[in-house]
Amino acid sequence: MKPNEGRLQTGEHILARIIENKINDAKVVIARFGKENEGSVDFSTSADLRTLNLEELERETNEIIKKELPVYKKLFKREEVERDFDLSKIPLSVNEIRIVEIEGFDKRPCRDPHVDNTMEIGYFKITKAERVGKDRYRFLFKI
C-alpha cells in the first residue's frame, strides 16, 4: 500500500457522499490514487458537476474530517448487504463484501485501505473538476 492511500481513500469517500447527497443521480464510477498525495474520483451523472462550487465542497469535506469520526471496516456476506448497496461492479464470485463505514456519515463497499479516524486525513484540497466524457466528471484532489 502506498503511504497515503488510506488518507486519500477515506477523503474520497467523504467527497463522494457530499456530491451524492447534492446530486440525485451522481454515482462514483472509479477512484484513482496514482501519485503520493493526489487522487481523483469520477462520477457519472446527467448534471453538470462543473457547476458545483469547489470551495464549498472542500469546506464541507474538511468539516467532516474535523469531526474526528471513527472509520469501521467490516466483512459481510454478499446476501446481507446486496439490498443496501449497488454491488453490480463486484463480480458474483465475491461472496464477502467489505463495507467501510464513516460513523454516522457514509457506508459503501470498498476493499482498499482506509484510515481508522477521519482526523488522520489532514487537510483535503480539491484542485479541479472537469468533464471527461458524456455524463462523466472527474474531481482531482490532494492531501
Q: Residue 111 in contact with residue 98, Cβ under 8 Å?
A: yes
DSSP single-letter state for residue 52:
S
User: Interface with Zn ion includes 110 (CB under 5 A)?
Assistant: yes
> Of the two residues 53 and 101, which places its CB atom closer to Zn ion in the complex?
101
Position among 38, 103, 112, 135 found at the interface with Zn ion (CB under 5 A):
112
Which range in 72-80, 90-98, 110-118, 130-138 contacts Zn ion by CB under 5 A?
110-118
User: Interface with Zn ion includes 9 (CB under 5 A)?
Assistant: yes
**CA angle 5–27–100, rounded 5-degree value:** 45
Exposure string of 84-94, with b = 16+ CB inside 10 Å and e = fewer, is: eeeeeeeeeee
CB of 118 to Zn ion, least distance (A): 13
Alpha carbon 91 to chain centroid, angstroms: 20
> Of the two residues 102 and 110, which places its CB atom closer to Zn ion in the complex?
110
Please report, as ranges, the residues that interact with Zn ion according to CB under 5 A: 9, 110, 112
